């Protein structure tokens, strides 16, 4: 436990939450929460594509929201940092694909082992080494590449839904310029809802439902571990934590608790294995929303992450209803809101990527993440980090902090600078 970073504590968290709550972090938390709820569509799509029963897929999403929501209440409140929790989307796609091959119980057994590996890495303090092996420009190159699609998805509706897209986007910048006391995201949300009401959006298919997660006992096979458990562990340790930590550091939070994030994600992933869920980890896109400038004052942005946890916990049992509501909304609605919320985060990530050391590795990391390429069934985000670091070590090894130079060489370098 000695390697876990110390936080502020939970004793005063409820009082501090009410003290720090304001319109900016409330609006950012709402947007991030809505974004997280909409991510359940990815799970449903992956489950459908893999031929999984709809009953299982719904329980999968309910567990995703409830378990990650509970952990997402604890982490940001304890550290007073914008650290929302969710699950790994690349892990979700891999999970859905492997279940028909090895079986659900076996896949969950592999999930349990992957969580144990993440827990050990966090408790041992090895994340500091992982973070040293993955310099900030390379990590942020991956983040920028992943988040770039949210920016392009924001402007794509201008092609087929010009009027509502233009109205929503312009309302954001109009509010930022002239309505100083009203968060621009709130204005855009209200404008979007107002437009849907005027245009007569059809909500007749919205139906009420209530479900809770169900317990299941994992089982263990070597095949499931090698095909799914080991890649998931690498994704959690080598991609999800570095991406989340890189984002919050890029937003000015230099004391991000990498070991604690990894260890807590490991515990959450182990618990998840008993409830049809594949992982718990820091949520990079939602971290971008909660830690970005749109969330208001730097020391109060942690409130936005706690709000995400509250939304997840409250919405989880009713996700069948929430999903039918999201389906009734035009697809451009969430795409525009998420893109606007991440706009300045994308800009900051690209600035860190392309200004400083590791230029070649950071560029390759960015390009690989943007490409969406899959190798051995593992997504582009993971390979962006691995190949970005490998290329940087090959052509710009001197940029790494652990590269050793002789005293005379270091002195010469300092004199040259």
Q: Which of these, 93, 91, 70, 72, lies nearest to 29 by C-alpha position?
A: 72
**Please, which residues have CB within 8 angstroms of residue 279's CB and are 6 or more apart in sequence?**
87, 88, 91, 92, 95, 111, 114, 115, 232, 236, 240, 265, 268, 269, 272
Tokens of 358: 């590791």
pTM of the model: 0.72
Q: What is the DSSP letter of 6?
A: P
Distances 55 to 47, 62, 213, 362 between C-alpha atoms, Å: 10, 11, 11, 42
Looking at residue 249, what is its pLDDT?
A: 86
What is d(CA 164, CA 237) in angstroms, rounded to the nearest whole number?
Answer: 41
Looking at residue 331, what is its pLDDT?
A: 74
Tokens of 283: 């949520």
Task: Summarize the chain as % helix, strand, coil (round to 5).
Answer: 75, 0, 25
Tokens of 272: 């998840």
Tokens of 98: 């492997």
Q: HEC profile for 283-306?
A: CHHHHHHHHCHHHCCHHHCHHHHH
Looking at residue 340, what is its pLDDT?
A: 81
Q: What pLDDT band is residue 351 in, cutting at 50, 70 and 90?
A: confident
Looking at residue 21, what is its pLDDT?
A: 95
- Is the pLDDT at 344 greater than 80? The verdict is no
- Is the pLDDT at 403 greater than 70? The verdict is no
Domain ranges of the chain: 13-159+203-333+345-401
Looking at residue 415, what is its pLDDT?
A: 39
Tokens of 401: 């902090």
Q: What pLDDT band is residue 2 in, cutting at 50, 70 and 90?
A: confident
In the chain, the percentage of residues whose pLDDT exceeds 90 is 30
Tokens of 363: 């560029």
Q: What is the DSSP letter of 378?
A: B
User: Mean pLDDT, to the nearest integer, of 303-320?
Assistant: 93
User: Mean pLDDT, to the nearest integer, of 231-237?
Assistant: 83
- Using only C-alpha atoms, the chain has a radius of gyration, in whole angstroms, of 21
Looking at residue 416, what is its pLDDT?
A: 39
Looking at residue 412, what is its pLDDT?
A: 40
C-alpha torsion angle, residues 4, 7, 12, 18 (rounded to 10): -120
DSSP string across 339-354: HHHTHHHHHHHHHHHT
Work out the mean pLDDT of the chain and round it to a whole number: 84
Count of CB atoms situated within 10 Å of the CB of 357: 16
When mean pLDDT is compared over 39-53, 113-127, 371-385, 389-403, the highest value belongs to 113-127
Q: Angle between the 343-353 and 241-250 helix axes, to the nearest 10 degrees?
A: 100
């Amino acid at each position: 436990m000695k390697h876990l970073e110390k936080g502020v504590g939970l004793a005063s968290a409820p009082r501090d939450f009410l003290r720090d709550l304001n319109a900016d972090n409330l609006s950012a938390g709402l947007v991030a929460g809505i974004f997280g709820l909409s991510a359940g569509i990815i799970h449903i799509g992956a489950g459908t594509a893999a031929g999984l029963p709809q009953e299982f897929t719904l329980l999968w999403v309910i567990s995703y929201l409830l378990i990650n929501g509970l952990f997402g209440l604890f982490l940001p409140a304890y550290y007073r940092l914008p650290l929302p929790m969710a699950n790994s989307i690349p892990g979700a796609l891999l999970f859905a694909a492997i279940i028909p091959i090895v079986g659900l119980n076996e896949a969950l057994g592999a999930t349990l082992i992957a969580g144990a590996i993440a827990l050990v890495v966090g408790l041992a303090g090895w994340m500091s080494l992982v973070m040293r092996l993955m310099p900030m420009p390379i990590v942020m190159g991956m983040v920028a590449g992943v988040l770039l699609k949210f920016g392009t998805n924001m402007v794509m509706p201008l092609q087929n839904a010009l009027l509502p897209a233009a109205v929503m986007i312009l309302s954001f910048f109009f509010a930022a310029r002239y309505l100083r006391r009203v968060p621009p995201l709130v204005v855009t949300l209200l404008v979007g809802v107002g437009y849907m009401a005027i245009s007569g959006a059809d909500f007749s298919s919205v139906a009420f439902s209530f479900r809770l997660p169900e317990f299941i006992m994992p089982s263990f096979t070597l095949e499931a571990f090698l095909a799914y458990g080991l890649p998931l562990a690498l994704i959690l340790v080598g991609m999800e934590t570095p991406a989340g930590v890189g984002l919050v550091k890029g937003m000015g939070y230099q004391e991000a608790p990498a070991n604690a994030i990894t260890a807590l994600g490991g515990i959450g992933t182990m618990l998840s294995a008993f409830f049809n869920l594949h992982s718990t980890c820091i949520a990079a896109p939602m971290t971008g929303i909660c830690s970005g400038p749109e969330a208001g004052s730097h020391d109060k942005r942690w409130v936005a992450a706690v709000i995400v946890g509250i939304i997840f916990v409250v919405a989880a049992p009713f996700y069948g209803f929430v999903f039918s509501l999201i389906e009734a909304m035009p697809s451009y609605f969430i795409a525009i809101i998420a893109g606007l919320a991440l706009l300045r985060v994308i800009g900051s990530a690209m600035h860190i990527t392309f200004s400083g050391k590791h230029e070649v590795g950071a560029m390759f990391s960015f390009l690989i993440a943007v490409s969406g390429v899959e190798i051995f069934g593992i997504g582009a985000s993971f390979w962006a980090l691995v190949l970005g670091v490998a290329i940087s070590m090959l052509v710009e090894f001197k940029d790494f902090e652990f590269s050793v130079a002789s005293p005379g060489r270091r002195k010469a370098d300092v004199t040259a600078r």
